[in-house]
Amino acid sequence: MCEGAQIGVPGGRVRGRLAPSPTGALHLGNARTFLIAWLRVRSCGGTLVLRMEDLDHPKNKPGAAGEALEDLRWLGLDWDEGPDVGGACGPYVQTERRERYAAALERLRACGLAYPCVCSRRDVEAGQSAPHTEDGLYYPGTCRGRYDDYGAACRALPAGRLPAWRFRVPDGEVVRFDDGFRGAYGQEVSAESGDFVLARDPQGAGYMLAVVADDAAMGVTEVVRGDDLLPATPRQLLLYRALGLAPPAFLHVPLVVSEEGRRLAKRHGDTRLRALRESGVEAERVVGLLAWWCGWAAWGERLAPRDLLPRFDLGLLPRAPAVLTPQVMAYLGVRKPPLPTGAASVL
C-alpha cells in the first residue's frame, strides 16, 4: 500500500455519482442506469455528483458533454455538484484533473506497482491465444521487469512514441467483492486481463486509474452503473488497495438490449434522448417507460423521476436486461432504419 493516500471527503453520508462519457448521445439504456443511480441517492437523502468522463479523446463527440447535461435535466434528473453547478470536489471534468491522475500514477510507480510498457496495441492483439477477456485484451506481462526505468523504456521506442504504464497485478489472487445488486463476484485479474494499462504516457491516464482517483477524491461512497462494467471492478479494487483508498460500494444493474440481446446501437432504432425529445415525446413518457422496465410502474404511466421516490425498490428490478421490443418502440414512436433491399436481417 502506498504512503500518503487519503480519501477526499470524510463523513458517513451517501455520495453517489453520474459519470457520463461524451462519446455519443445518451440513449434509453444510459437513461435507465442514470435514473436508478439518481433514485438510489435521492431516496436516502444523499448527495449526487455529476462527473464528465471525457478522457477518451478519439471517441469524444464535439458538444456531447453539454448535450448530456441537457438530456439528463430534460428527463428531470438533477445533481448537487457538477461541471455546471460547481462544488467542493471540483473540477468535475476529467480532462481538467490530469495532474491528479499523474500524482496517483507516481504513487503507484514509487511503490513498484506500475511499470513502463513498450508494447503496441497491435503487439498485444497479436499475442492473444484466444478471445480472452470479457471486456478487453489479455496482457501477458511482456514488459514486467524489462526496463529499469522509464528512460530505458523510452530509448527502446522510436522517437515520438512514449511507453505506456501498466499496473502490476498480483499473480493468482481472486479479487472478490459483494455487489449490492448482483451479489458475490470474484475474478482472478492476473488470468483475466493481466497487467492492465494505467496510462498511455505519464500524463495520459486511462479510465481505470481516473475513475478510481476521482471516485475516491470526490468521496463517492456508492457507484451505481451498468453491468457491462462488472468485470472491470476487480481491477479498480486492486487500484483502491494499492493507493490506500477506501473503495465505494458497487451496484451493477442490467443494461437495455435489443431483441437479439445486443447492446443498443443505431441499427436498433434511434433511442437517443435528444431524438425522442425532438420528435415530440415527453420526458414523462420516457421516465414512465424506464420505470416500467424497472418494475416500478404500470405500462403507459407518465412519471417524473421524483414520482418514483416512494416506489424505488431494487428488489423489484429484474435480473435480466431490459429489452427494446417492438411494443416499446411503437410506444415511443421509434422506427428502425430501413433494411437494405433484399437483406433478410441486419444485426
| Alpha helices (H) along the chain | 28-42, 64-75, 98-110, 121-126, 150-155, 189-192, 207-217, 233-243, 273-278, 283-294, 326-332
Closer to ligand GLU at the Cβ: 19 or 253? 19
Rounded least distance, CB 135 to ligand GLU, Å: 11
Instruction: Count the site residues for ligand GLU by CB under 6 A.
Output: 7
Does 205 interact with ligand GLU (rule: CB under 6 A)?
no
Does 94 interact with ligand GLU (rule: CB under 6 A)?
no
**128 CB-near residues (< 8 Å, 6+ apart):** 137, 138
How far is the C-alpha of 296 from the C-alpha of 317, rounded, in Å? 8
- Answer for which of 211, 256, 303, 332 binds ligand GLU (CB under 6 A) is 211
Rounded least distance, CB 340 to ligand GLU, Å: 31
- Answer for which of 14, 16, 19, 221 binds ligand GLU (CB under 6 A) is 19
Question: Could you list the active site residues?
Answer: 266
Rounded least distance, CB 21 to ligand GLU, Å: 4
Does 222 interact with ligand GLU (rule: CB under 6 A)?
no
Rounded least distance, CB 19 to ligand GLU, Å: 4
Does 53 interact with ligand GLU (rule: CB under 6 A)?
yes
Does 21 interact with ligand GLU (rule: CB under 6 A)?
yes
Closer to ligand GLU at the Cβ: 15 or 225? 225
Rounded least distance, CB 66 to ligand GLU, Å: 16
Angle between the N-to-C axes of helices 207-217 and 98-110, in degrees from 0 to 180, rounded to the nearest 10: 100
Closer to ligand GLU at the Cβ: 66 or 337? 66
Closer to ligand GLU at the Cβ: 101 or 292? 101
Torsion-angle region of residue 63: left (phi > 0), alpha (psi -120 to 50) or beta? Answer: left
Does 72 interact with ligand GLU (rule: CB under 6 A)?
no
Contact yes or no for 22/72 (Cβ under 8 A): no
Q: Which of the ranges 4-12, 15-23, 68-76, 309-317 carries the binding residues for ligand GLU, by CB under 6 A?
A: 15-23
Closer to ligand GLU at the Cβ: 229 or 304? 229
Phi, psi of 184 (to 5 degrees): -65, 135
Rounded least distance, CB 30 to ligand GLU, Å: 7
How far is the C-alpha of 159 from the C-alpha of 95, rounded, in Å? 26
Q: Which of the ranges 17-25, 175-183, 248-256, 290-298 carries the binding residues for ligand GLU, by CB under 6 A?
A: 17-25
DSSP string, 215-275: HHHTT--EEEEEGGGGGGHHHHHHHHHHHT-PPPEEEEE--EE-TTSPBP-GGG---BHHH
Rounded least distance, CB 140 to ligand GLU, Å: 26
Cell 410506444 identifies what position? 331
Contact yes or no for 206/104 (Cβ under 8 A): no
Closer to ligand GLU at the Cβ: 32 or 109? 32
Does 249 interact with ligand GLU (rule: CB under 6 A)?
no
Does 229 interact with ligand GLU (rule: CB under 6 A)?
yes
State the DSSP code for 148: S
Tell me the C-alpha to C-alpha distance, in Å, between residue 19 and each of 102, 106, 210, 214, 272. 20, 25, 12, 10, 17
How far is the C-alpha of 16 from the C-alpha of 249, rounded, in Å? 10
The contact set with ligand GLU (CB under 6 A) reads: 19-21, 53, 211, 225, 229
